[in-house]
Structures are given as C-alpha cells and as structure tokens.
C-alpha cells in the first residue's frame, strides 16, 4: 500500500541553524501539507501546497519557514533559523482531492526535530 515517507526520522540541531525536512508524498496525490505537534500537545496545521504554490498557511508559518517541491517526488519544509520552540514532531501529509471536504489526508511517520 502506498504511503507517505519522511526523512530523517529524528533531527537534532543547534539553535539558529537551518534545517530541511523531507517528505515523499503518495505518488498520485496532488495536495501536500505540513503539520507539527509539540510534545504532548495537539497537532497544528502549518501549510498546504498545491500546483507548486502555497494554498494556505497558518500564523505559525512565518518568514522562517518555507516549502518547496524541488522535483517530481520530494516535498520539503525548511526552517531558516531554528528556535528552541521549533522543537516538535513535524508531519507531512498528502491527499488526492484537496478541494473536497471529505478528502482524506494521509500522514507520514513524522520527523522529530530537537533544537538545542
């Protein structure tokens, strides 16, 4: 069964460093998302992406964050200058029909980012 994959599974970085989190969405999906979950808290939406541009972003997704689809398969989230509060699990998700309310988003296994 096709699935969303994410690398790395765990990333440790120093405050102020840039990190790139990578995702390979399910191959026939067209809509891509990033969410984050701070330890012990609920999952929060960051950004959605369709047709090589951002569809929607939350207030969390400030100028420190960017997303890109550099080739036909990868979808990346970059954090330019990490802060301690960026420590969280980052989930990538993808779906086929983002315009439909009941379109199901399938999540990857997550990347646990630890900022020291």
Binding residue count for other proteins, defined by CB under 8 A:
29
Instruction: Please report whether residue 1 would count as binding other proteins according to CB under 8 A.
Output: no
Site string for other proteins, 35-74 (x = CB under 8 A): x-----xxxxx--x-x----xx-x----------------
Output the smallest distance, CB 51 to other proteins, in A: 11
Beta-strand runs (E) in 31-102: 31-37, 43-50, 53-57, 65-68, 75-79, 88-95
H helix count then E strand count, the chain: 0, 11
Q: Which H or E element spans position 8?
A: none
Residue 8 in the binding site for other proteins (CB under 8 A): no
Contact string (CB under 8 A) for other proteins, positions 18-37, x = contact: ---------------x-x--
Give the SS3 label for residue 104. coil
CB of 1 to other proteins, least distance (A): 12
For the record, the structure tokens of 35 come out as 């969410």
Q: Could you say whether residue 84 binds other proteins (CB under 8 A)?
A: no
Gap between the Cα atoms of 116 and 108, Å rounded? 24
SS3 content of the chain, % helix, strand, coil (to 5): 5, 50, 50
To the nearest whole angstrom, how small is the minimum distance from the Cβ of residue 91 to other proteins?
A: 6
The site for other proteins (CB under 8 A) is made up of: 33, 35, 41-45, 48, 50, 55-56, 58, 89, 91, 93, 98-110, 112
């Amino acid at each position: 069964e096709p699935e969303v994959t994410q690398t790395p599974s765990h990333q440790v970085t120093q405050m102020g460093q840039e990190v790139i989190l990578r995702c390979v969405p399910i191959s026939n999906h067209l809509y891509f998302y990033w969410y984050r979950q701070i330890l012990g808290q609920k999952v929060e939406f960051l950004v959605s992406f369709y047709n090589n541009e951002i569809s929607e972003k939350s207030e969390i997704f400030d100028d420190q964050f960017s997303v890109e689809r550099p080739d036909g398969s990868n979808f990346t989230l970059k954090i330019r200058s990490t802060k301690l509060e960026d420590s969280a699990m980052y989930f990538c998700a993808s779906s086929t029909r983002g315009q439909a309310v009941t379109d199901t988003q399938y999540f990857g296994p997550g990347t646990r980012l630890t900022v020291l």
